[in-house]
Amino acid sequence: MVRRAPRRRKAKAKERTRPPLPPKPRDPNMPPFKDEHILLIAPGSQMTLAQLGLPESFTPARFRFPTRMFPAEKKGEFEPYKVRQRQREFKVSDVTNASTEAPKEAQAPTETPKEDVEMKDSAENGVAAAQGGEPTGDSAEKTDKPEGENATEGEEKTVQEFYYEEDVTSEEGAVYPIENGRIVDWPCFFALLTHIYNSLSPPFHTPILLVAQPVWSARDRETITQFIFEKFKVPGFSMMDAALAAAYGFGVQTATVVDVGKGKVDVTAITDYAVNEHGRGIALEGCGGDAMTDRLVELLGSKGFSREMCEQLKRSNIAEILPPGTTVPGTAATARQGADPAAGAEGDKAAPGGPGAGAQTGGEGNGEEEEGVLDVAAIVSGDTNEYLANMEKEKGNKKGGVDPKQPRLPNSKKEKASFQFEEFVPMEGENTTGGPQRYTRHSREIEVGVERFLLATPRQKVGDRLTNGILEDIATQIHHTILAVPDATKRSELWDSLIIVGCGSRVRGFVQSLLGVITQKFILSPSATIFTSEIPSAFTTPLPTGGTNTPAPMGQPPGPMYHPAAHGVNPLLVAATHNNPGMPIAPGTPGMDPSIPTHHRSTGHSQTPTSVKTLRLPEYFPDFKDQGNTNAPGTTTGHTAATSGHGSEEGAFLGAQMGAKVFFVLDQGVTKGYMSRVEYNESGPSAIHEYSL
Amino acid sequence: MNPSNPPQTAEYGGDEVSAIVLDPGYSTTRAGFAGEDAPKSLIPSYYGKYNADGQEKLVFGDDVFVTPRPGLSIHNPIGKDGIVEDWDMAEKVWEYSFTSRLTGAKPGNPFHNGLNDIPSEELPTEMEVESEEKPLADSPLLMTEPGWNPAKAREKTIEIAMEKWGTPAFYLARNGVLAAFASGKASALVIDIGASNISITPVHDGMILKRGVQHSPLGGDYISSQIRALFKKNSPQPITITPHYLISSKTAVEAGQEPQAKYKTFPADKAPDASYRALLEERTLSEFKECVVQVWPGPNKLSAAGPNGVPNEESARSSPGRPFEFPDGYNQMFGVDRFRVVESLFDAKAAIPDPESIFPAPTPAQTLPELIKASLGGVDVDIRPHLLGNVVVTGASSLLYGFTDRLSQELMAQFPGPRVRVSAPGNTAERRFGSWIGGSILASLGTFHQMWISKKEYDEHGANIVEKRCK
C-alpha cells in the first residue's frame, strides 16, 4: 500500500470560478448524456475517424477526415482544403458575362460542403454526383493554368479580380499535424479538431471522447484537454488510450495490442484494463505500412513503378507476405524474412516477373480503362465505394477467364499476378478557364512478379537497422513488451491474446507471417516447459512462502497451428495442468468478463511464450467485417484510399464506442471515465490524468 | 472556505503543480509526476551510440533493446558505484526520461516550422528567447541520489537542473530515505538491492544517518556474473548465451541437446559492439533470474546443515528443478545450482569462482549480513532495536525468489534479542520503484513546499546551497 497525501493538483486556474453544483446528475437513474449526443474522435497520422452519436449496434466510424490541413491566407490559420488564389480579368463593359460566370464559380465550393469527408450514408449521393458530373464535365473549364496566362483579351478596360477556389483534390502544401502519432504542428492539429467539430456540429450538451495516441506525452494530453474544454465548452471529456480502446473493442481485459500504423507501430501490453507503460513499444519508426511501400518502391522503382503504384500494389490482394519458410514461386529460395540479410536478400528475388512489357506505360490502350469522367467532388467525398465496387465487379466478370495459363492457382503459387492500378488524370483537351478541374479515373492492369511477396523484407538502403525486416522488429518489440510486464503470471495470457489493429496490418498475410516469425524466434520448445520434467507439486517445494512452480495458470493448450511439434508431451498431462482447454474468452462488454483472481507472484513462474495466438473481433458486430485478419481474396475491394469495408483493424474505434457508452451513459461517471467541466474548472487540465484511460 | 473564492497560493503551494520526480539508477532511470503511484517513464540508463552517414547518433530508451544497429555500442553515464561519471550524457539520458513521456519535446519555434516564412529581419527578438524555453521551465524537480553521493556530484546535479533544464524549484533527496517513506516509515533500516550495488541506509526521523551507510557491489550485475560463471562450468557442455538478435530462427530440441538454430552474421564493419551483446545477454539473464534463480530460504547457509541434521544442499537437491530455454533453443533443467548463484550474497565462501569475471571474489565484509552489522555499528545503540523493527527491503534484485525469507532468517540469527521485522512490499512495482514512490509522496506533501530550493535562492547562493538544504 502506498500511503500518500491526497492529490492536490490545482492548476493555474485560480481565477476560474467554481460552479456550486456537484457534477453528478440529481436523478440517479438518468444517465448524464444521451447516446446520440456523444462525439468520438480518433486522430491518426493519415486519417482521423469521427462519429457523432452511438448507433444501436456499433459501426465503423461514419466520418473519415484526412489528417491534414492547408495553411490559410492568414498566418497560423488553416483551411481544410487547398485554397488557390486566382486572378481573372474581364472587361468592365461585359457586365452580363461576368455576372453569369461568377455564380458558377461560387457554386463549386458550396455545392459539396463536405467533399473531403467520407460519409457512409452518402453513398447514393456520391454516385449521383458522380454521374451528374459527367454532362457538366464536358463544358467544364480547366483552371490549372498559371495565372496571367489567360489574360488574353484584357488591355485597357479590364478589371482585375481575385477570387478563391477550393481545390479539393490537391495535396499541395498540405500540413500533416500528426507524424508517427506525434503531434508535430499544434495550431494545425487544433484547426483540424475545430474543422471536425464544426463539420459534425454537435448539439450543445455533447461530451467528446478522444482516442489518444500512445506517444502523446502527459503534457500533450493536458494541452489537448485544455483546448477541448476551452474551445468547444464541452460538458465532459474523456481521453482513451488507443491500445486500451482496441482491447475494449475485442472485449478482453488482458491483451497485447499491436497497432500497425502508417509510419509506426505501437506495442502495448494491457493487463486487467490497465496499460503497462513500462516497456511499452511506442511509435517504433520504420515499421508501419509506409515501410512496406518503401520496400516495394526500392524493388520496383527501377522498373518504372511510381510510389503511388507501389502503394496500390501493397493494398491490392496480390501483395502478400508469405509466412517464413514458404517458397516464393518461381525460385528455389524461401521467403526472406528470418534469413540472413548479409547473405544477400537481393539474391533470389531477382527472378522477377517484372511488369509485362508496356503494362505500366500506354495504359490508355486498353478498352475498358476509360471509366468515364467523375466529378472530383464525388470522388473525394467518399462514398463512391459502392460505385467503385460495382465497377470492380463488372471488371472482374469480364476478366473471368482471362488467363487460361494459370487457372485458379492461389496467389502465393503464382509467379506473376496483376492488379488494377487506378489514378486520376486531368482531363485533356479542355483548356478553358474557370470551374473546378475535372479528372478522369484511369484504371489499368499492371503485372508484378514475385516482388509482391517481398514487402516485409529488409530494405537495402536503410543502413542503421540490422534486423530482418519489419516483422522481426515488431516481434522483438512484442517480446520485449511482454517481458517487461511485472506480473509474470499474465505473460502467457498476453502471448495468447495478440490484438493486431491498424491499417498496415491489412496487407495480406501480415498477421500469419508475424505469428510465424514469433514462432520461429521465441516460442519455447516443449521440453523447456514444465511438461517433460516432473509433475509440478507444491509439496516437494521446500518453501515457507508457499510458492509453487506450476506454470502460469493462464496457460492454454498450444495453438493448433503455431505450436512446434509437441513431441514428448503427454496430452493428458497438458490437459490436466491447464484450465478449461478451448474455452473461448467470452467477448462482452468490459466488466462482464469472468475475472480470474490471480495471485501476484514475482517469481516462481515458467518462461513464456509456449504459444502465441491472435484474437478475433467479437462476431456480433457485423459491420466490422473481419477483414484485416483474414485477408481472403477479394476482401480488399477498393484500390483507392477509400475502401468500403473497415474490419477489425479499426477495432480501436469500436472500443472507443464501447468506452463512450460505458463512461458517458452507463456508469454515470462512477468509474471516473471522463472529466466533467466542473472538475476541469476546479482542477485544471492536469487533472485529466486521473480520468484518462 | 468559501468555494466561490479561488484558493490562496499559500494554501496549496502553486509550485507543487506537476512536480517531477526523477530517480536515476545504474540500470534504469525512473521519472514521473509527483502524486502518482508509479513512474510513468521507465527507461534504461544505458544508451547506445553508433555512426550512420558519418554522423554519430545516440539511442535512448527501450529502443536499445529492440533494434540492433550497425556498430552500436552501449554506454552508461553512471559508474559502477552509482555515482555519475559522464555528466554530459547523464544529463541527456535524464532529460530523455522526462521529455519522452512527461513533458514532451521542446515546442518548436513557430517561425521554424516551415509555415511562417518571415524575412529574418522581422523576427521579433523576444520570440527567440522564448523559443529556447528549457524543458522543465514550469515543473519543480525532485531528484534522488545514493547516500554516498559526493558533494561535488550533488552540486553538479543542481547546476544541471537549474541552468540546463531551468526548473523553478529543486530538491535532492537520498533514495534510502525515500524508500523508507514509501513504506510509510520515518525511521527504518533500508536495504536496497540494486543492479550495481547493495546498500544499507539507516534512516531516523526522516534523516539519513550518514555514518551507518554501507554499500557493496554485490548487486544484480554481480549475480549475473555468478550465473555466467555457473554456465561456464555447466555440464554436459558450457552454456553460451546467444541473444535473440543473433538468431534468425530456432528449432525445438530436447533438454540438454545441442541447439539447432540459424544464426545471423553481420559483416565486421556493421556488427554491433561487444557491449551491445553484453547488454542483451543481460536481458536473458534477468529472465533467468526471474524464472529459475532462487535464494536458499534458510535457516542457515546452503552449505550448512538444516535443523534436522540433513545438509541443506541435500534438501535443495530434492526440490524439483526448473527448466530454462535460451534464445538459441538450448534448454536444460537447473537443480541445486540455481540456489548457488545467489548464495554468495550471504556467504562469501559460496561464491562460484570465475577468474575472468570483472567482479573480484567477494570479501566477507561485502556480504549482506556483514553490511548490516557494520551499518548498525555506525549508529547510536539506542536506536538500533528501533531500526531492526523497521527493516525495509527495496530494489529490483530483492525480488529474487525467497530473498526476503532468507534475509529475515539471517537477521534473526544475527540479532536474536530484538524484535526484527522485515517489511517488503509484495507488489513488484512498489519494490522496484521504492525510492521513486517515496519521492512522489514527499513532493506531493503540502508541508514539503518550504523545502524546495527556488531558482532565486540558487542564484543567490550558488550550487553549494544543496549541501546546506538537502541533508
A34's CB contacts (< 8 A; 6+ apart) are A665
A645 or B403, which is more confident: B403
Query: B29 is written with which cell numbers?
Result: 532511470
Q: What share of chain A is helix, strand, coil (3-state, %, to 5)?
A: 30, 15, 50
| Tens-digit pLDDT profile for residues A383-425 | 445 544 555 454 444 444 444 444 567 777 777 888 888 777 7
Predicted pLDDT at A604: 45
Mean pLDDT over each residue of chain B, to the nearest integer: 87
Contact between residue A55 and residue A653 where contact means Cβ atoms under 8 Å apart: no
Spatial distance between the Cα atoms of A300 and B149, rounded to a whole number of angstroms = 59
Predicted pLDDT at B378: 94
Lowest mean pLDDT among A342-351, B179-188, B357-366: A342-351
CA within 13 Å, CB half, B455: 16
Mean of the pLDDT values across residues A590-610? 47
Kindly report the pTM of this predicted structure: 0.77
Residues of chain B with C-beta less than 8 angstroms from the C-beta of A607: 287, 291, 323-325
Q: Which residue is closest to A175 within chain B, CA to CA?
A: B115
A449 to chain B, closest Cα gap in Å: 26
Predicted pLDDT at A463: 60
Contact A4 B265 (CB under 8 A): no
Phi and psi at A430, nearest 5°, equal -125, 85
Residues of chain A with C-beta less than 8 angstroms from the C-beta of B289: 603
Q: Which residue is closest to B37 within chain A, CA to CA?
A: A2
Contact B4 A20 (CB under 8 A): yes
Residues of chain B with C-beta less than 8 angstroms from the C-beta of A178: none
Q: Which residue is closest to A13 within chain B, CA to CA?
A: B6
Continuous segment of H or E residues that includes residue A255: strand A255-260
Predicted pLDDT at A380: 43
Residue B123 pLDDT > 50? no
Spatial distance between the Cα atoms of A208 and A52, rounded to a whole number of angstroms = 9
B355 to chain A, closest Cα gap in Å: 30
Residue A440 pLDDT > 50? yes
A5 or A475, which is more confident: A475
Query: Which ranges in A497-607 belong to alpha helices (H)?
Result: 510-521, 571-577
Residue A104 pLDDT > 90? no
A177 to chain B, closest Cα gap in Å: 11
Contact between residue B33 and residue B40 where contact means Cβ atoms under 8 Å apart: yes
Contact A2 B428 (CB under 8 A): no
Residue A537 pLDDT > 80? no
Per-residue confidence band for B106, with pLDDT thresholds at 50, 70 and 90: low
Contact A277 B315 (CB under 8 A): no
Spatial distance between the Cα atoms of A649 and A636, rounded to a whole number of angstroms = 13
- Domains recognised in chain A with CATH numbers: 9-70+177-252+643-693 (3.30.420.40), 470-630 (no CATH)
Predicted pLDDT at A365: 35
Residues of chain B with C-beta less than 8 angstroms from the C-beta of A476: 66-67, 244-245
Q: What share of chain B is helix, strand, coil (3-state, %, to 5)?
A: 40, 20, 40
3-state SS, one letter per residue, for A66-98: ECCEEECCCCCCEECCEEEEEEEEEECCCHHHH
Predicted pLDDT at A621: 75
Query: A507 is written with which cell numbers?
Result: 496487407
Helix (H, G, I), strand (E, B) or coil at A465: coil
| Tens-digit pLDDT profile for residues A368-388 | 333 334 444 444 444 445 544
The pairing of strands A255-260 and A498-501 is parallel
H helices then E strands: how many in chain B? 17, 19
**B230 Ramachandran zone, left/alpha/beta (phi>0; psi -120 to 50):** alpha
Percentage with pLDDT > 70 across chain A = 56
Contact B115 A17 (CB under 8 A): no
Angle, helices B368-377/B403-414, rounded to nearest 10 degrees: 50
Per-residue confidence band for A100, with pLDDT thresholds at 50, 70 and 90: very low
Helix (H, G, I), strand (E, B) or coil at B321: coil
C-beta atoms surrounding B348 within 10 Å: 18
Q: Which residue is closest to B245 within chain A, CA to CA?
A: A467
Residue A674's alpha-carbon distances to A190, A237, A404, B164, in angstroms, are 21, 5, 60, 37
Spatial distance between the Cα atoms of B188 and A324, rounded to a whole number of angstroms = 56
Residue whose C-alpha cell is 553549494: B464
CA angle A192, A197, A199 (to 5 degrees): 95
Predicted pLDDT at A609: 87
Query: B274 is written with which cell numbers?
Result: 561487444
A161 to chain B, closest Cα gap in Å: 26
Contact B6 A16 (CB under 8 A): yes
Lowest mean pLDDT among A65-74, A311-320, A411-420, A484-493: A411-420
Lowest mean pLDDT among A163-172, A458-467, A488-497, A642-651: A642-651
Predicted pLDDT at B226: 94
| Tens-digit pLDDT profile for residues A508-522 | 889 989 999 999 889
Query: Which amino acid makes up residue B285?
Result: L
Mean pLDDT over each residue of chain A, to the nearest integer: 67
Predicted pLDDT at B132: 56
Contact A479 B37 (CB under 8 A): no
Lowest mean pLDDT among A25-39, A310-324, A480-494, A555-569: A555-569
Residue A95 pLDDT > 50? no
Percentage with pLDDT > 90 across chain B = 59
CB-defined contacts A:B, below 8 A: 258
Query: Which amino acid makes up residue A462?
Result: V
Q: Between the CA atoms of B58, B59, B61 and B64, what dihedral angle is there, to the nearest 10 degrees?
A: -140
DSSP β-bridge partners for residue B208: B203
Contact A3 B184 (CB under 8 A): yes
Predicted pLDDT at A93: 55
**What DSSP character marks residue A541?**
-
Nearest CB partner across the interface for B428, out of A338, A477, A486: A486
Predicted pLDDT at B116: 43
Predicted pLDDT at A669: 64
Residue whose C-alpha cell is 553512471: B78
Nearest CB partner across the interface for A480, out of B66, B428, B429: B66
| Tens-digit pLDDT profile for residues A233-272 | 999 999 999 999 999 999 999 999 999 988 899 999 999 9
Mean of the pLDDT values across residues B448-458? 91
Predicted pLDDT at A453: 85
Mean of the pLDDT values across residues B257-274? 87
Predicted pLDDT at A345: 36
Spatial distance between the Cα atoms of A402 and A399, rounded to a whole number of angstroms = 5
Spatial distance between the Cα atoms of B25 and B27, rounded to a whole number of angstroms = 6
Predicted pLDDT at A360: 36
Predicted pLDDT at A150: 43
Mean of the pLDDT values across residues B79-91? 94
Predicted pLDDT at B295: 92
Mean of the pLDDT values across residues A171-197? 90
Per-residue confidence band for B428, with pLDDT thresholds at 50, 70 and 90: confident
| Tens-digit pLDDT profile for residues A24-62 | 444 556 677 888 889 999 998 888 999 998 888 888 888
Mean of the pLDDT values across residues B378-399? 93
A626 to chain B, closest Cα gap in Å: 30
- Domains recognised in chain B with CATH numbers: 9-44+96-178+434-466 (3.30.420.40), 220-430 (3.90.640.10)
Nearest CB partner across the interface for A530, out of B53, B323, B431: B323
Per-residue confidence band for A557, with pLDDT thresholds at 50, 70 and 90: very low
Predicted pLDDT at A27: 54
Contact A520 B319 (CB under 8 A): no
Q: Using CB atoms within 10 A of its CB, is residue B210 exposed (0-12), middle (13-18) or buried (19+)?
A: middle
Predicted pLDDT at B313: 86
A612 or B1, which is more confident: A612
Contact B42 A602 (CB under 8 A): no
Residue A515's alpha-carbon distances to A196, A318, A336, A525, B246, in angstroms, are 38, 20, 15, 16, 19
Query: Which amino acid makes up residue A318?
Result: I
Residues of chain A with C-beta less than 8 angstroms from the C-beta of B107: 186
Interface of A with B in 163-202 (CB under 8 A): 175, 184-188
Contact between residue A145 and residue A431 where contact means Cβ atoms under 8 Å apart: yes
| Tens-digit pLDDT profile for residues A443-468 | 888 888 888 888 777 776 656 777 77
> Is A529 an 8 Å CB contact of chain B?
yes
Predicted pLDDT at A402: 41
Residue B120 pLDDT > 80? no
Residues in chain A: 693
| Tens-digit pLDDT profile for residues A664-692 | 888 766 777 888 888 898 888 888 888 76
Q: Give the highest mean pLDDT range of A547-551, B123-127, B307-311, B463-467.
A: B463-467
Predicted pLDDT at A156: 54
> Is A534 an 8 Å CB contact of chain B?
yes
Percentage with pLDDT > 90 across chain A = 17
Got the DSSP string for A646-677?
Answer: --GGGHHHHHHHHHHIIIIIISTTTT--SEEH
Phi and psi at A347, nearest 5°, equal -55, -60
Contact between residue A346 and residue A437 where contact means Cβ atoms under 8 Å apart: no
Contact A521 B68 (CB under 8 A): no
Predicted pLDDT at A622: 72
Contact B290 A602 (CB under 8 A): yes
Query: B17 is written with which cell numbers?
Result: 503543480
